[in-house]
Structure 1
Amino acid sequence: MIKKLLKLLVIALISCLIVLPLNAQILVLPELNNTNTWLPTNNNSAEVSACIRLDGLCLFEVSATASDIAERVQQIEQRLHRISNLYFYQQDATLTIEKRTVNNLPNIHVKVNDLEIRLLTITSLDIKNQGVDLETKAQEIIEQVQEGLERGRKERELVSLVQKGLIAFIIFGLLLILNFLVLRLIKRLNTYRDRVAELRINQPISTELTRRQQWNIREVQYRLLQLLEVGLWLGATLVIVGLFPYTRIAQIWLITLLRIPARITIVGLGTYLLIRLSYALIAKLSTLLFSQDVLDFEFNQRLQLRLRTISLVSRSIITIIWVMVGIIVALSVIGVNIAPLLAGVGILGVAVSLASQNLIRDAINGFFIIVEDQYAVGDIIQVGQFSGLVENINLRITQLRDSEGRLITIPNSEVKIVANLSSNWSRADLSIPVAYESDIDEVLTLVHQVAEEMTKDKIWQENILETPEILGVDNFSERGLIIRVWIKTKPLKQWDISREFRRRLKIAFDRQGLPLSLPQQKLWLTNI
């Protein structure tokens, strides 16, 4: 669909080129002044240049000091506006442009019918660094003014206005067609993104990484289409208002008004797209690392958790880096001198490091937690008096969800001793109380049978990694004989295995008439 849209854009461009008249150069956006005279300057004696405009187009440039340039441009343009009104709106007006020398400086005089107006005096600043003399510069300005006034008069003719109106109508029609196609693409991408978002819940890591990669790529396409839509409307508006001499000045105003906001917006959007593309690259690299043809099952299980954690942390770091780069680039494109800013980053870094020692300790400890694979998202851990499922980890904090549903946030600098209950494999540790009166050999045989049956069960055998170990009588307690059983399981499956084993053991004991021991006490009474 993107290729079709590009083809339509090419067709639209060719159509415009066919319809445009020979003087289609009017559609080109006019150049702005070389010097931003609307920006404040500290050096009022600096020499600057600015354009003298007619109908929004630059006729010629004049030069002056920074403190005088605005006033000189205003005076010349007021005279030019008066001349153009006389010449444009008188049907039989005649135009004569002459050069007269006063005090060794050429003066340009424009005569419309019988009314003569001095347009400007050419100074030495106007020819500085241009490699021409005053006479040559005067002749150039005469030709430029003559051409500009004749062009302006021709553009105001009815035939020209009708022709430009037809061109504007065609451009607007193409705009509506292209906008309709872009909106259709945006709608399709929205539908696809919603479908991907629904499928991302509780997916295997390989599927999740692939979906995440597709999501980020589609997000980039979605934002580019939004930018294209805005660009189409803005570009068409600028071109249409630039067609007519009456509205062309609005083109300059719009460009001047939107220059800085547009640059900041483009940098911001570019930063966002780079972040999304980086997310897609991280997902792609993670997918390449996760190869089930190479890795064994246990390592696969652990790698899933590590990839989730590393992916989350990597995306956080990438986001911070790109945002910082985006801020620096944005300041640079709007004209801010970033050299002192970059020089002050070192000093600022020292100050921040002194004020953020706890944050630095958190980040360093978080880095080693991830590198050493102490735990990852999806593990169940115990840190001090807190335990639960790791829901989120970054360079600063670890967040746990305990059995009561509470979200516990622990700074990484506080993670000194951690117990991981689900790293690589887990173990179901069972203590089975048996009455002292029971035949211990019969009980052990029955426990062996139950363990063997459960190991062979298709539902449970994939979660049991090794043959259960019957350790024997582990203790004599007030409840009776304690038989210890170890069952090696997949991570986080030890509790399910324990519950099922106890259920089966209770059924087997009832079938054989063997009671499970209850807490008991014996009381001896003696004659007092």
Structure 2
Amino acid sequence: MMVNFFRYRQLFPIRSLISWGMMSILSCMITLTYASSAMGFFTPQLESEKIEHSISLLNPNPDVINVGNVYAASVRLDGYEIFKVTATDGVKTESSENVLSPPKFARLRAQLVENELKGIVSNHLYGGIFNQGFQKETLTVTVAKRNGITVVIAYDDDKLRERQIVTVTEEDAEFYGYSVPQWAQKLAEIIKNALIRAQQERNVNYIIHQLLWSLIIIAVAIVFSWVILGLQRKLGKQRHLLMVQEPINELVLSPSDLSTIKEELSLAAQQSKFLKVREKQQEYRRKLDWIRLKRRLLQSGQAIIWILASLGILELFPWTRWIFGEFLEKPLIVVILFLGISVTIRLSSICIDRYIQILIEEASICPKIFNGIGVSQRRASRLSTVAEISKDLVFWIFIALGILLALDILEFPIKALLTGAGVLGIAISFVAQSLIKDLINGMQILRQDRYVIGDFIQVQETWGLVEGFSLTVTKIRGPQGRLTTVPNGDIRVVHNLTKEWARIDLYIKISHDADVDLAMKVMQQVAQQMQEDPQWRDCILEPTVLMGVNNLDHTGVEIQYWMKTKATQQWAVGREYRRRLKLAFDEKGIHLGMPQESRLMQNPSGMLKIRDNDIN
């Protein structure tokens, strides 16, 4: 069925969602812009030309990368990656007793180079509050030969003695596509620029400027947090006003409304009441979910603002810049991942509810397409049940996906975990057999449409209205408001009292002296009158079937009668039919069967006689 576009706009408030989402993104972008400005505007430009391998402002700390049989590890100074050093297979220690794996040897080389660079920058031979480390004007970083090996050395004309920084190997040069002499010259320029920048970042004026920008970043974050907090309070008030109107108490059927099956009170009114209240509750939940989604977007935006502000402040200073790459990068990515998953779960629930609502409205607008109002109501109940199951599945799928992605980000061996999980799953399957049984039976119940939310069912000795259904349990609201939770694995035989159609099995006993043919004719006439009555004709689905005389005994003649009705209408139709039949029988003089008792005596003349003198 074609659905009007304006209905989609009403069900999916796209503008509102885009507005709230753009507000959160804009806040994050503005905060990040201020942080980037602070980190870039006051960063002194390097005196030499820009090199090919420029240093990224927020460059993450990569692990050792592998290209063929070459492993490359990053060399960092003040949190910036400068270059990479490599290692190949078959590297041994000097003692030849232990063999270092290429990744470990690459990390070792990188650590040794970083130690040399930090030693040059923090040379304590130069006094003062902030160590100068070397003289920028006379700093020399050049290429030299030591024992036939190409190395890069650094020194100045004052107190910095010659220090060997890195050995240039053929693998290092090939990794970057240079010859050894070319890469050594390029590397000397890179190291000199990095040392000069590190010294400039330790300048008093630079630090003061960065402190000023830290205050600006904090102020901007506070302003946007205050705005977002005000919007959260506004949404909190809307949520409180909405929760006051929650129709949750109406779902609890009063004891006067419930009865046992034997009392044959009408379940149609109870089911209708439940479905109407459930529809109100679903509308209430949709509004509440929409408010929760907006709050979750604001909360995520506020969290991201402070995360970016904190990262921006850490990136401003050389002493703290390394913290992000070493400790905070991956945990923060995991935090942002789960924030996104949380928002996605909320949005998915809203989309599922909106889509199900469209399908239900289609069925209610054109019930003829779905073979009548009863079928469309049944379709609506089934769709509501599917919606609840779908939201649970979406929740667990996103949670499982988030856990796997988080483990991958944190570099846990996922393959080994999955292999172990397979073995562990086999062990758990023996322990959690009942849970697996509940899940499988729950899927079968849903697939076979045995019952849905809103049906009246009987499971063994438990009966009542299905108030909740999941893949593991079924919640049944029984007499006196009693809520019974039945594991799906324990449901083998279920009696659905309200699915599709019902039938009245009437057994009427008339007395032996009554005219059987007349009684059957009267019963047929009463049924025909009810089928022609506008009040009852929609409740009776097919012409009634008079089965005939079913039994003869001392109480009378039993006549069997069948009448097919709509689901949940069998009790009301049966009560009305019995009332009309009693009046018709009284009018025709047909009496109902009554128990009769006969006593036979073998010697009636042998009765005891009472003598006259005994009377006196």
Name the TM tier (shorter chain). Answer: 0.7 to 0.9
**Per-residue CA distance 1:393-416 (angstroms, 9 max, x = gap):** 44445444443626152544751x
Find the aligned partners of 2:195 and 2:114 in 1 and give their Cα distance.
Answer: 18
Tell me what 2:216 maps to: 170
Find the aligned partners of 2:419 and 2:157 in 1 and give their Cα distance.
Answer: 59
Letter matched to residue 147 of structure 1? N
- C-alpha RMSD of matched pairs (Å): 5.3
Which runs of structure 2 are paired with 1:377-388 in the superposition (5 Å)? 377-388=453-464
Residue 32 of structure 1 deviates from its aligned partner by 4.0
Match of 1:75 among 89, 92, 115: 115
Find the aligned partners of 1:115 and 1:374 in 2 and give their Cα distance.
Answer: 85
Shift of the 318–327 alpha-carbon distance from structure 1 to 2, 3 Å rule, reads: same
Which runs of structure 2 are paired with 1:310-389 in the superposition (5 Å)? 310-339=386-415, 363-389=439-465
Letter matched to residue 75 of structure 2? C
- 2:505/2:563 contact within 8 Å kept: yes
SS at match of 1:86: coil
Find the aligned partners of 1:93 and 1:24 in 2 and give their Cα distance.
Answer: 19
Residue 109 of structure 1 deviates from its aligned partner by 2.7
Greater shift after overlay, 84-93 or 144-153?
Answer: 84-93
Find the aligned partners of 1:358 and 1:286 in 2 and give their Cα distance.
Answer: 31
Which runs of structure 2 are paired with 1:295-314 in the superposition (5 Å)? 295=370, 296-314=372-390
Letter matched to residue 486 of structure 2? T
Unaligned runs of 5+ in 1: 38-44
Letter matched to residue 198 of structure 1? E
Residue 209 of structure 1 deviates from its aligned partner by 5.8
Tell me what 1:51 maps to: 75
Shift of the 332–60 alpha-carbon distance from structure 1 to 2, 3 Å rule, reads: closer
SS at match of 2:389: helix
Tell me what 1:233 maps to: 306
Letter matched to residue 226 of structure 1? Q
Letter matched to residue 246 of structure 2? E
| 1:262 aligned onto 2:312 | no
- 1:48/1:69 contact within 8 Å kept: no
**Per-residue CA distance 1:179-223 (angstroms, 9 max, x = gap):** 122223334444555627925865647666666556555544433
Find the aligned partners of 1:67 and 1:8 in 2 and give their Cα distance.
Answer: 39
- 1:313/1:394 contact within 8 Å kept: yes
Unaligned runs of 5+ in 2: 1-18, 46-54, 88-104, 252-273, 607-616
Which runs of structure 2 are paired with 1:270-281 in the superposition (5 Å)? 270-281=340-351
Find the aligned partners of 1:132 and 1:271 in 2 and give their Cα distance.
Answer: 45
**Per-residue CA distance 1:304-330 (angstroms, 9 max, x = gap):** 232233233333444444444333333
- 1:212/1:283 contact within 8 Å kept: no
Q: If the length of structure 2 is used for normalisation, what is the TM-score?
A: 0.64
| 1:407 aligned onto 2:484 | yes
- With a CA cutoff of 8 Å and minimum separation of 6, indicate the structure with the bigger relative contact order: 2
- 2:527/2:544 contact within 8 Å kept: no
Shift of the 352–121 alpha-carbon distance from structure 1 to 2, 3 Å rule, reads: closer
Shift of the 371–90 alpha-carbon distance from structure 1 to 2, 3 Å rule, reads: closer
Greater shift after overlay, 233-242 or 462-471?
Answer: 462-471
Shift of the 261–464 alpha-carbon distance from structure 1 to 2, 3 Å rule, reads: farther
Letter matched to residue 377 of structure 2? Q
Find the aligned partners of 1:32 and 1:20 in 2 and give their Cα distance.
Answer: 16
Tell me what 1:108 maps to: 153
- 1:383/1:419 contact within 8 Å kept: yes
Letter matched to residue 153 of structure 2? I
Residue 235 of structure 1 deviates from its aligned partner by 1.0
| 1:249 aligned onto 2:319 | yes
- 1:380/1:388 contact within 8 Å kept: yes
Match of 1:422 among 477, 498, 502: 498
Greater shift after overlay, 146-155 or 199-208?
Answer: 199-208
Which runs of structure 2 are paired with 1:111-130 in the superposition (5 Å)? 111=156, 113-124=158-169, 126-130=172-176
Find the aligned partners of 2:566 and 2:238 in 1 and give their Cα distance.
Answer: 35
Letter matched to residue 214 of structure 2? A
Find the aligned partners of 1:316 and 1:16 in 2 and give their Cα distance.
Answer: 40
Tell me what 2:177 maps to: 131
Which runs of structure 2 are paired with 1:384-399 in the superposition (5 Å)? 384-399=460-475
Tell me what 1:282 maps to: 352
- 1:84/1:149 contact within 8 Å kept: no
Letter matched to residue 163 of structure 2? R
Find the aligned partners of 2:159 and 2:357 in 1 and give their Cα distance.
Answer: 82
Shift of the 357–251 alpha-carbon distance from structure 1 to 2, 3 Å rule, reads: same
- 2:32/2:308 contact within 8 Å kept: no
Find the aligned partners of 1:259 and 1:278 in 2 and give their Cα distance.
Answer: 28
Find the aligned partners of 1:496 and 1:85 in 2 and give their Cα distance.
Answer: 102
Shift of the 301–436 alpha-carbon distance from structure 1 to 2, 3 Å rule, reads: farther
Find the aligned partners of 1:67 and 1:60 in 2 and give their Cα distance.
Answer: 13
**Per-residue CA distance 1:340-370 (angstroms, 9 max, x = gap):** 5556777777777788777666555443432
Residue 233 of structure 1 deviates from its aligned partner by 0.7
SS at match of 1:143: helix
Tell me what 2:226 maps to: 180
Find the aligned partners of 2:131 and 2:423 in 1 and give their Cα distance.
Answer: 68
**Per-residue CA distance 1:442-486 (angstroms, 9 max, x = gap):** 9x989999997999798x998777899999998888888989887
Residue 171 of structure 1 deviates from its aligned partner by 1.7
Shift of the 486–10 alpha-carbon distance from structure 1 to 2, 3 Å rule, reads: same
Q: If the length of structure 1 is used for normalisation, what is the TM-score?
A: 0.73
Shift of the 298–145 alpha-carbon distance from structure 1 to 2, 3 Å rule, reads: same
Residue 299 of structure 1 deviates from its aligned partner by 0.5
Tell me what 2:139 maps to: 97
Shift of the 79–388 alpha-carbon distance from structure 1 to 2, 3 Å rule, reads: same
Find the aligned partners of 1:302 and 1:181 in 2 and give their Cα distance.
Answer: 47
- 2:385/2:469 contact within 8 Å kept: yes
Which runs of structure 2 are paired with 1:173-212 in the superposition (5 Å)? 173-191=219-237, 195=242, 198=246, 204=276
- 2:441/2:489 contact within 8 Å kept: yes
Tell me what 1:40 maps to: none
Greater shift after overlay, 58-67 or 162-171?
Answer: 58-67
Letter matched to residue 389 of structure 2? V
Letter matched to residue 352 of structure 2? I
Larger Rg: 2
Letter matched to residue 75 of structure 1? N
Q: Number of matched residues?
A: 515
Letter matched to residue 261 of structure 1? P
Shift of the 304–66 alpha-carbon distance from structure 1 to 2, 3 Å rule, reads: same
Find the aligned partners of 2:577 and 2:71 in 1 and give their Cα distance.
Answer: 91
